[in-house]
Amino acid sequence: MHGNPSILLRAALIVAILMSSGCHSDPKNEALQTQVGWRPVETWSGHGDTQTESFDIQSTQWRVKWTTKNENPPGMGTFKVTAHSAISGRPIALVVEHKGVGSGIGYVDQDPRLYDLVIESRGIDWSVSVEEGVIGTE
């Protein structure tokens, strides 16, 4: 397959959604259907500021699943995650910026490379998991 991997990933997502929304296919072809999923890459947790070790992303789409808890004092916790190039150190994308207790998912659409995360946190415990978008067949 040739072309922009980000466009191919989005196209595969659209195809997967359309195929699961009521279209019925021949059972013998189901094994060849395109599947989109998320591969776990790395997980960290802590309190306060940190820079993670580097991790390799080979696709153009990845995400950070995050949770904050144990805010002290209440109403004052802050949490920010920025993706950086692990080679140059330059910031690539602001992934999460949140105040207080919560959870969510931040998405990154960038070229494959080595990344690290810079986490800035005040008055709150946090955990983050990086997952890489993958396309394959069942």
How is the chain split into domains, by residue range?
Answer: 5-137
Predicted pLDDT at 3: 46
| Torsions phi, psi for 25 (to 5 deg) | -120, 170
Over 51-102, what HEC string results?
ECCCEEECCCEEEEEEEEECCCCCCCCEEEEEEEECCCCCEEEEEEEEECCE
The CATH class for the domain spanning 5-137 reads mainly beta
Q: Which residue has the tokens 């109403």?
A: 75
In this prediction the pTM is: 0.74
Residue ranges in the chain modelled with pLDDT below 50: 1-9, 11-26
Q: How many Å apart are CA 58 and CA 26, to the nearest integer?
A: 33
Nearest residue to 65 (alpha-carbon basis) of 23, 16, 98? 98
